[in-house]
Amino acid sequence: MAARAEKKFSVLIADDSDDDRFFTERALRYSTRLKLVGAVPNGAEAIKYLDGQDMYADRVLWPFPDLLLLDLKMPLKDGFEVLEWIQAQDFPQFKVVVLTNSSLEADIARVRSLGVEAFHTKSEKFTELLEVVKSLENYLLGPEQPK
């Protein structure tokens, strides 16, 4: 139980909105279990980060995350293209949560078909973003094991 309570997770944000990245980063500061390790403005940069390309090759400065918070509608490569790329990789223990403005059923279904279990619609309310952060902690910790 103590190990579960102390577990920390690193987070990468991929979102093209400066405002959304700012508020998500701010909400993550309220978490004792989630630590931001990077924020990128598009899908192409997310892939570079995850693949350790270019400046992201230094894993001391840019550690591989436990969690990717992924927007769907981004330039260069969108969130779906990032998810398709991730499916072709071998990233054990890596989780992706979609955090997007889209609440279209077709988008949700496509995200699920690409292996994502958690999907959140962005909110204008900071308190709701804090609730998302709390649900991320619970999602990463997984179900508590019975004694």
CB 35 within 8 A of CB 12: no
CB atoms within 10 A of CB 133: 20
For residue 144, tell me if it sits in a domain.
Answer: no
Q: What is the Cα–Cα distance from 70 to 74, expressed in whole angstroms?
A: 9
Q: For the domain that residue 64 is a member of, what is the CATH number?
A: 3.40.50.2300
pTM for the model: 0.89
pLDDT, tens digit, for every residue of 10-24? 999 999 999 999 999
Asked if residue 145 belongs to a domain, the reply is no
Give the strands of the sheet with 95-100, arranged side by side: 34-40, 9-14, 67-70, 95-100, 118-121
Q: Is residue 44 assigned to a domain?
A: yes
Q: Per-residue pLDDT for the chain (147 aa), expressed as one digit of tens each?
A: 445 557 899 999 999 999 999 999 999 999 999 999 999 999 999 999 999 999 999 999 999 999 999 999 999 999 999 999 999 999 988 999 999 887 788 988 999 999 898 888 888 889 898 999 999 998 888 865 444
The domain total for the chain is 1
User: From start to end of the chain, where are the E strands?
Assistant: 9-14, 34-40, 67-70, 95-100, 118-121
* Residue 97 within any structural domain of the chain: yes
Has residue 126 been placed in a domain?
Answer: yes
Residue 105 lies in a domain: yes
Q: Are the C-beta atoms of residues 130 and 101 closer than 8 Å to each other?
A: no
| Enclosing domain of residue 34 | 2-138
